[in-house]
Amino acid sequence: MLGLNKADTRLYVIILIMLIFAPFILNPFPDGSSLAQFNAGYPDMMQKLVIFGIFAVGFNILFGLTGYLSFGHAAFLGVGSYAGVWMMKLLTMNVIPALILSVLAAGALSLIIGFVSLRRSGIYFSILTLAFAQMCYSLAYSVLTPITGGETGLQLSLDDPRVIGTSQTASGNIPVPHFFGIEMGQGITIDVGAWSFVFNFGYYFAATVFALAMFLAIRLFRSPFGLMLRAVKSNQSRMSYTGLSSRPYALAAFVISGMYAGLAGGLMVAMDPLAGAERMLWTASGEVVLMTILGGAGTLIGPVLGAGVIVYLESIISTINEAVLHGWFSGLPAWLDSVFVTIIKPFVGEGWHLLLGAVFMLVVIFLPGGIVEGGQRLGRLFRRDGARGRKNGAPKNGAPKNGTDSAEQPGE
């Protein structure tokens, strides 16, 4: 399908099904249930999942294929956000021009940073990208305040000189982002028994962009260009012996990866037209590194799974407080309730980073290939058990099974 092999087509169809039915999949518990707080099927959460999925997929093109570890990808995320807001302030609230400018601005910045940083490799490359990202953060936070809004961030206002459309609505409010008239916040809610499912247009728009970005990533992974990027990672010396320079390929991967980050930044402001310098902090760059390694660097679906785990922990587990924990164990004796709450409390709420660290540590120690490797191990285990079961159930020495005539057994 669309130039994909059978395995990639199967993976892509699964991704599409999950994107379409996400409001159902992410809301497994009824609203009245005590477990409903683990539901993640609300629009903001789903949008965040696909946006950071794009960010991680783009980073994986650089790190997973070429092996170059960048600690400065948050700079491209932030530049994409700023470019998107400025497009909405000056031209139109339609999100398409904002996304285009976000991708182009991030691509231009990544070309500059990549051209300089790729003169070094290994830890020196990583430190250079980190330095550039921190420079961008400092510029956005202080020097470029008229352009970036400084510590308050860049946001829309009622006196924006918008060329297409109005600066304020008839009710005196700031216009909202839209896709040719369809507002990002529009949606419908369907109640099925005790469940409530929200179908938000903004999410499905972001999911469509994610699906296109994922398709392009799959094609890139399987293309001759993707093979050259793997060659950069495996042995650059051998490439040079054949007369090929690795730098143009690495720079192309760096720019493509940066454009993916810019696209993610543009989608952020398409859902919420606000850009702040905190998106360029080194912690944001560190998050995408964790997402990729946690899911499985160099795999197609791994970074998306890693992004889902981290976004879920941040958005859901961080909201669990001591009162919620006592509610979980209220049916137990008081002393046992206190024991369980004391043990779990450091890993939830404000301590969700501790839980993330524990999960990351376990994955690195026992599953170096990330969540994808864990899935592959389970798959091999089930196949082995199935094969063993078939072998044990086969007749021995040509003897008939269950009293049947051997002539009735096929292949005998």
- Per-residue pLDDT tens digits for 214-270: 999 999 999 999 999 999 998 888 888 888 888 999 999 999 999 999 999 999 999
Interatomic CA distance for residues 337 and 348, integer angstroms: 16
Residue 73: name the closest of 262, 293, 294, 339 by CA: 262
Could you tell me how far CA 349 lies from the centroid of its own chain?
22
Contact 98/273 with Cβ under 8 angstroms?
no
Answer whether residue 383 is part of any domain: no
Answer whether residue 95 is part of any domain: yes
Distances (CA, A) of 35 to 28, 252, 316, 320: 9, 46, 11, 11
Answer whether residue 168 is part of any domain: yes
Interatomic CA distance for residues 309 and 294, integer angstroms: 9
At 68 the pLDDT is 95
At 406 the pLDDT is 39
Rg (CA), the chain: 25
Answer whether residue 173 is part of any domain: yes
Q: Which residues of the chain have pLDDT under 50?
A: 398-412
Q: How many Cβ atoms sit within 10 Å of the Cβ of residue 353?
A: 13
At 323 the pLDDT is 86
Distances (CA, A) of 196 to 38, 133, 184, 261, 319: 14, 42, 20, 33, 20
Answer whether residue 191 is part of any domain: yes
Residue 263: name the closest of 373, 89, 103 by CA: 103
What separation, in Å, do the N-terminal and C-terminal C-alpha atoms of the chain show? 40
Answer whether residue 139 is part of any domain: yes
Q: Into how many domains does the chain fold? A: 1
Answer whether residue 138 is part of any domain: yes
At 411 the pLDDT is 43
pLDDT, tens only, 394-407 = 555 544 444 444 33
Interatomic CA distance for residues 79 and 362, integer angstroms: 34
Answer whether residue 327 is part of any domain: no
207 lies in which domain range?
45-281
